[in-house]
Chain A
Amino acid sequence: MDAAGTALLADAALPRWSERARPAVRGALMASAPLAILVVAGLGVWEWLSDIGVIPRYILPAPQALLGAMVTTSEALTRHGLVTIQEAVGGFLLGNAIAIAASLLFAASRAVRLCFYPLALASRAVPIVAITPLLVILLGRGMLPIIVVVAISVYFPTLLNMLRGLRSADVEYQELLYSLNASRWQRLRIVELPACLPYLFAALKVGASVAFIGAIVGEWIGANSGLGYLIVISANYFRIPAMWAAITVAATLTLLLVAAVSTAEKFATPWRHEGTGDL
């Protein structure tokens, strides 16, 4: 499993660090112009297709109706959105914490890895729709089972990438430290963990892109609050604009989480971004 996994998502539309000088502002504006044009044109075509009835309103509302629904349901969107944020972010943190701890254990002991790696793989492969009801019954209703569902959907890429990252640490440098009598902990801290960071962040981005989807599927099946629940209940009462408003909020939250991970990566591994133009 190579790592470097996922790319810096938000980067594509953002100015590079090396371009931060003032002329770059105009450059960035120019760079984002094509996207802006495309988005505006897309919204226009969507509105037009809705108006002439090619896109039925009972399936997908027109942009204006969607925007209207976001305003009128803003209170419910905020309330349920906050629940989903807590579940998605909580599960994201829990899943990744477990994955990082497990990767360190696996890297430290071959026996542990042999015993539990297949089990870790299997737990990701179990269909989520089947285990959610079980989790709800065992853990009680509320946020906890949904947080576990999210943790299960995000931990695997991190585990795989961390294992690869730990092995990528420079062997020669390791040996040097070894000859300098560095402790196991020092080697981990000085060499292995920094070497892991790019791999880790790549996986975190993949995880960030699925955390909200995991929360929504979980809420859909076994909860009475959150955006997933709002989507189902809106569909139940055929409030299609409200349903799409919730879907739009969920998509926006996903993009924000991915952008947050990208930003964290820039602070944690500044050396990777200076002038490399790495995506």
Chain B
Amino acid sequence: MKRFLAALAVLIPLAAQAQTPRKLTVVLGYIPNVEMYGPEYALHEGLFKAAGFDVTLVPTGQGINQVQMVAAGVADIGIANPESILAAAGRGEKFKIIASQFQTSPVAMTCRKDSGVTKATDLKGKRIGVKVAAKPYLDLLLSKNGLKDTDVTTTTIGGTDIAVLISGRIDCEVTTFAFNEPRLIENAGVPVNVLPLGSFGLNAQTDSYFVKESFFNTPGNVEMLAKFMHTQGEAWANFFKDPKAAAAYMVNQKFVDGLDIDQQSYQATQQAIFMKSKLTAEKGILWINPATFKETAENLFAAHVTDKVVDPTDMLTTAVLEQSGLPKL
């Protein structure tokens, strides 16, 4: 009898699982543009449903942070910059990073071509527009290239502000997304040079998928997350088949207002490059690179964002990736 009950206890949740889809809330790394093709495509083309998920996607806003939402339990899975995840880990929160979209950081400094800046050492004497949260990283970039913060003039700019650069009040702007702002600035008639921060010792696996450690440790959740990531593999494989078509899909579906097809196509082709590496060809897309995380963690400490070097080793796990059967591209 006891054994029968125990078997029942195991079977009932399994049966329930098969019938009612598993509810998941995912907070995106950005608004639903081509950068978020994976989750949006999986949702709208029924990949989540077929895998037994009932997924709610939450686009991120200006002042709402994905890390806070996951920490507060408002979202189950977050897609966020590793800088944020590690900074929060430095404050004592426990997370598990289960996958990473970008192999090379798409975060860049954008400079007017007429400023003559093509490498970090050219920044001496230049006027740089800095977003508030980016100041520590600029200081770090300068010090890594033998410059002091007094060697440049900085101006604080708003989160969406490229007009300052277009107006010529500044020579360079940090941070920008390598495929977004530069394109918009050039469309406004100002040629630019793009300096990806990853090329200056500031690489990071932008848009990493993460969950709370307690969520990860809940029995059955690794398998569940693997099923979830499998849908992401399918969706992103579709993206890589034809990035421009993927961009057109995102624009035409109108998940969000104001997307520009020219910019989105350009972003898609560039993004395809930044999402691939030797590692993804060997192991699979969305793979985690511990060396990159180590670099990010050391930079965070050097930039005084964290009080100590946050060791990412325990946060990183390929357990989900191993079971997800991701395409090797």
Contact = CB atoms under 8 A, between A and B. Distances in A.
Direct interface between A and B, CB < 8 A: yes
Interface of A: 56, 58-59, 76, 80, 129, 132-133, 136-137, 140-141, 220-224, 229-230, 232-240, 242
Contact of A238 (B65, B184, B256): B184
10 contacts: A76-B258, A133-B63, A133-B68, A136-B61, A136-B64, A220-B62, A230-B258, A236-B258, A237-B259, A238-B185
B61 to A, nearest CB: 5
Contact of B59 (A59, A137, A224): A224
**10 pairs of A and B residues whose beta carbons are closest in the complex:** A221-B63, A235-B160, A238-B184, A76-B257, A224-B59, A233-B258, A236-B160, A58-B163, A222-B64, A137-B72
Interface in B203-232: none
Given A80-B257, A236-B160, A237-B184, A221 B61 contact: yes
A222 B69 CA distance: 12
Contacts of B184: 237-238
Contacts of A80: 257
Interface in B123-172: 160-163, 166-167
A224 B257 contact: no
B31 interface: yes
Contacts of B62: 220-222, 232
B163 A233 contact: no
A220 to B, nearest CB: 6
B15 interface: no
B87 to A, nearest CB: 16
B322 interface: no
Nearest to B185: A238
A224 B36 CA distance: 15
A140 B74 contact: yes
A242 B258 contact: yes
B58 interface: yes
B260 interface: yes
A223 B167 CA distance: 30
Interface string B34-74: 00000000000000000000000011011111001100101
B258 A234 contact: yes
B64 A133 contact: yes
Nearest to B72: A137
B263 interface: yes
